[in-house]
A and B are shown apart, each in its own frame.
Chain A
Amino acid sequence: MSANTEGGRKRSWFSILTMTFLCLLWTVPTLGLLVSSFRPRIDIERNGWWTALFNFFDTTWTTSNYSNVLTQKDMAGSFVNSIVVAVPATILPIMFAAFAAYAFTFMSFRGKDVLFVLIVALMVVPIQAAFVPLLTLLGPDGLDINGEYLAVWILHTGFGMPLAIYTIRNYMSTLPRTVIESAKIDGATHFQTFWRLIVPMSVPVLAAFAILQFLWVWNDLLIALLFLGSGDKSTVIVNLASLLGTQGQGAELLTAGAFISMLVPLLVFFGLQRYFVRGLTAGAVKG
């Protein structure tokens, strides 16, 4: 059952049907959320979201879930919090990691292999292993920054470091060494070589890692919950997690809240998909 298509590809009906089915299966859950988020509370409790979809023009549609979750549950504030957390926590690790990756790629020094193996190993270590001492270190008896953005910025920067160094170094080691050699002959210092040559040449991997790290920080629950709490500094994800526990009154806000939390990742995803895929393929393992 196969025929050749334009590109000399074989088209099989089995593939077309199965893929259509799988695509539906993968889309229906999200579609349900989207439809539900625009339905009034009474309707949500009366029948399933698909009823609204099949009677599209006889259904009451409302945006009140969105306005309510933004104001009553302060999802608007959480949205700002998430941005304030995610942007520095994305840029800072890249900065530090790029310098380290440069050293690992273009310099030779004692202990290089041991240090890099350590970094490979640390990528696999679960971050939970660090939490108990860090709660003390950042808590009232230590630096006393627990509950501040600062704590989360530092943590994400530290935890993101091994993967960042690993990914960026892997890319840098594919850059032509002759360029660096000739820069050296021209009398450029390492600092100049790094900024004027290596950073511009590494933009693809820096962008790819930035997207990966941004999504990771934005979607993170554990660190935000432990070190930022569910008070007025809660991120959208922490806020959404507390909405998930709501029963009865206010349960309809969950769907709108969930969509708000997904908005930025989806935009990033569709806008920068190429970089995102490259980032995924480059640094597959994350501890």
Chain B
Amino acid sequence: MKQVSTKSEDSASVAEPPPPPAPRRGGRTYEEIEAVNSKQRKVKLAVGTVGLVVSLYVVVTVFQALALFADDIPRLLQGVIAVIAGVGGAALLFYFINMVVEGFPRRFSEGVIPYAFLLPAMLLIGVMLIYPTVQTINFSFADADSEVYVGLQNYIDVFQDPDFQESIFNNILWLIIVPAVTVVIGVVVAVLADNLSTNGEKISKSFIFVPMAISFVGAAAIWSLIYQYDPPGDTQTGLLNAIWVGLGNLVGASVEPVAWLSVSTFSLNDILLMVIVIWLQAGFSMILLSSAIKGVPEETIEAARIDGANEFQIFRQVVIPQIRGTMITVFITVLIMVLKIFDIVYVTTNGRDGTNVIANLFFQEIFRTGDNGIASAIVVILLIAVMPVLIYQVRHFRREETER
């Protein structure tokens, strides 16, 4: 460190003949610099702490005021205030946290800075995700008002409830059908699109992809026009019934229109709801798989072709193994989504005619009975169902990290 000060003197003396360089720092000893630094640190520590407290106070007050006077402030203005206070507040928060940490002795500060950067995000995750999840598990062993522990009673009740059994069955049905079909459609569309001209590929992919932007509720509205039922004798305004009755007339049989979403035979109504979700998700599947297929090296395909393999064999034995990773990613993403499928069932049938699923049952339980114990137990079962996927995800992540 001493070298630094002598060096600066050296350079100052070398630069002597021409007019002296701007402010001269030379002449200070190491101790003097240290003293100045420690003084600066103390200032930083003080200003940072004050700034942190003040900015926290201001942000909290602004948001409290927003909540209190919500009805008197125009809605858009509320949004603007929230963005400014939220983003500005977060920026100030980080700025002052950083200042405080820099005010600590250097060695200590290096160790603390990472936690300062992590603190706000981890606090949010702790309060919004970890604490409530642990509490839910806790509640699942307590009574309706979460006051007395009742052991496993909630779980016993839940498993004996025919609604729950039906929901579990339906969830499993969703799990078996939707992820697999979505992956298959994704592969098929990706392969077919790959055989089109460049423009044809771009346009056709956009068509398949558009539903990705549409909400489940929007999709339910769209498909309600297809599954629409009108009494026999009326003109059928639903597309599916129009085709159904029209085909019947064509072969000369008198076919009754069907109230599609009420038909629980062979879980037909469940499957019709699944069609909506597959329609929504196919674009996602296609985009990921398409880029995977384009990543398959041409040489491997060429080699197989020289060996005399036909196109189908090439696809099955050369292409598929190389896109397996992406297929699993898509499969798991859709699987997780399907496991907690709620919106589509809630807005179409609300679980009537044997279409209930766990997430919808949970929602009904919160509002219908307000029983925290039962509702929590249902969610914990959902949580347990996710565990294998969770473990797979973590392992997969670990593997990728070591390969990095």
Interface residues, chain A, with chain B CB atoms under 8 Å away: 5-7, 9-12, 15-16, 18-20, 22-23, 26-30, 32-33, 36, 44-50, 77, 80-81, 83-85, 87-88, 91-92, 95-97, 99-100, 102-104, 107-109, 112, 115, 117, 119-135, 137, 144-145, 148-150, 153-155, 157-159, 161-162, 165, 173, 189-191, 194, 215, 218-222, 226, 237, 240-241, 243-245, 254-255, 257-258, 261-262, 265-266, 268-269, 273, 276-277, 280-281, 284-287
User: Is A11 a contact partner of B220 (Cβ separation < 8 A)?
Assistant: no
B119 to chain A, nearest CB (A): 9
Residues of chain B within 8 A (CB-CB) of A49 are 225, 237
Q: Name the residue on A nearest B329 (C-beta).
A: A284
Q: Is B40 an interface residue (CB 8 A)?
A: no
Interface of A is mostly: helix
Which of B82, B113, B220 is within 8 Å of A190, CB to CB?
Answer: B113
User: Is A121 a contact partner of B217 (Cβ separation < 8 A)?
Assistant: no
User: Is B394 a contact partner of A121 (Cβ separation < 8 A)?
Assistant: yes
Q: Is B213 an interface residue (CB 8 A)?
A: yes
User: Is A158 a contact partner of B128 (Cβ separation < 8 A)?
Assistant: yes
Residues of chain B within 8 A (CB-CB) of A100 are 117-118, 120-122
CA distance A187 to B277 in the complex (A): 53
CA distance A172 to B340 in the complex (A): 31
With A190-B117, A261-B215 as known contacts, state yes or no: A123 contacts B128, CB within 8 Å.
no
Q: Is B26 an interface residue (CB 8 A)?
A: no
Q: Name the residue on A nearest B228 (C-beta).
A: A48
CA distance A226 to B210 in the complex (A): 28
User: Is A99 a contact partner of B210 (Cβ separation < 8 A)?
Assistant: no
Indicate the size class of the contact surface on chain B.
Answer: 35 or more
A5 to chain B, nearest CB (A): 5
User: Is B214 a contact partner of A158 (Cβ separation < 8 A)?
Assistant: no
B191 to chain A, nearest CB (A): 8
Residues of chain A within 8 A (CB-CB) of B135 are 132-133
Residues of chain A within 8 A (CB-CB) of B133 are 125, 129-130
Q: Is B124 an interface residue (CB 8 A)?
A: yes
Within 8 A of A (CB), among B42-87: 63, 66-67, 70, 75-76, 78-79, 82-83, 86-87
Q: Name the residue on A nearest B276 (C-beta).
A: A29
Q: Is B35 an interface residue (CB 8 A)?
A: no
Which of B124, B130, B284, B375 is within 8 Å of A280, CB to CB?
Answer: B284
User: Is B195 a contact partner of A12 (Cβ separation < 8 A)?
Assistant: yes
CA distance A105 to B102 in the complex (A): 20
Q: Is B141 an interface residue (CB 8 A)?
A: no
Residues of chain A within 8 A (CB-CB) of B130 are 122
Which of B120, B221, B336 is within 8 Å of A258, CB to CB?
Answer: B221
Taken residue by residue from 189 to 225, chain B's Cβ proximity to chain A (1 for < 8 Å, 0 otherwise) reads as: 1001101111010011011111111111110111111
Which of A77, A173, A241 is within 8 Å of B347, CB to CB?
Answer: A241
Residue pairs across A and B with CB atoms within 8 Å: the count is 344
Q: Is B271 an interface residue (CB 8 A)?
A: no
Closest 7 CB pairs of A and B: A158-B128, A219-B215, A258-B221, A84-B79, A130-B132, A100-B121, A269-B213
User: Is A132 a contact partner of B386 (Cβ separation < 8 A)?
Assistant: no
With A27-B207, A88-B86, A257-B221 as known contacts, state yes or no: A155 contacts B128, CB within 8 Å.
yes
User: Is B347 a contact partner of A287 (Cβ separation < 8 A)?
Assistant: no
Q: Is B170 an interface residue (CB 8 A)?
A: no
Residues of chain A within 8 A (CB-CB) of B348 are 244
Within 8 A of A (CB), among B106-128: 111, 113-115, 117-118, 120-122, 124-125, 127-128
A191 to chain B, nearest CB (A): 4
CA distance A267 to B211 in the complex (A): 13
Q: Is B342 an interface residue (CB 8 A)?
A: yes
Which of B113, B197, B332, B394 is within 8 Å of A11, CB to CB?
Answer: B197
Q: Name the residue on B nearest A6 (C-beta).
A: B197
User: Is A150 a contact partner of B125 (Cβ separation < 8 A)?
Assistant: no
With A19-B204, A48-B237, A131-B366 as known contacts, state yes or no: A240 contacts B218, CB within 8 Å.
yes
Q: Name the residue on A nearest B115 (C-beta).
A: A109
Which of B95, B117, B200, B282 is within 8 Å of A107, CB to CB?
Answer: B117
User: Is A50 a contact partner of B239 (Cβ separation < 8 A)?
Assistant: yes
User: Is B117 a contact partner of A22 (Cβ separation < 8 A)?
Assistant: no
User: Is B87 a contact partner of A261 (Cβ separation < 8 A)?
Assistant: no
CA distance A112 to B216 in the complex (A): 37
User: Is B393 a contact partner of A88 (Cβ separation < 8 A)?
Assistant: no
With A126-B382, A257-B221, A258-B218 as known contacts, state yes or no: A103 contacts B117, CB within 8 Å.
yes
Residues of chain A within 8 A (CB-CB) of B195 are 9-12, 15
User: Is A173 a contact partner of B404 (Cβ separation < 8 A)?
Assistant: yes
B210 to chain A, nearest CB (A): 7
With A83-B79, A88-B83, A91-B87 as known contacts, state yes or no: A33 contacts B347, CB within 8 Å.
no
B138 to chain A, nearest CB (A): 9
User: Is A268 a contact partner of B87 (Cβ separation < 8 A)?
Assistant: no
Q: Name the residue on A nearest B373 (C-beta).
A: A132
CA distance A87 to B197 in the complex (A): 39
User: Is A132 a contact partner of B366 (Cβ separation < 8 A)?
Assistant: yes
User: Is B79 a contact partner of A149 (Cβ separation < 8 A)?
Assistant: yes
User: Is B118 a contact partner of A221 (Cβ separation < 8 A)?
Assistant: no
Residues of chain A within 8 A (CB-CB) of B339 are 126
Which of B66, B121, B282, B386 is within 8 Å of A125, CB to CB?
Answer: B386
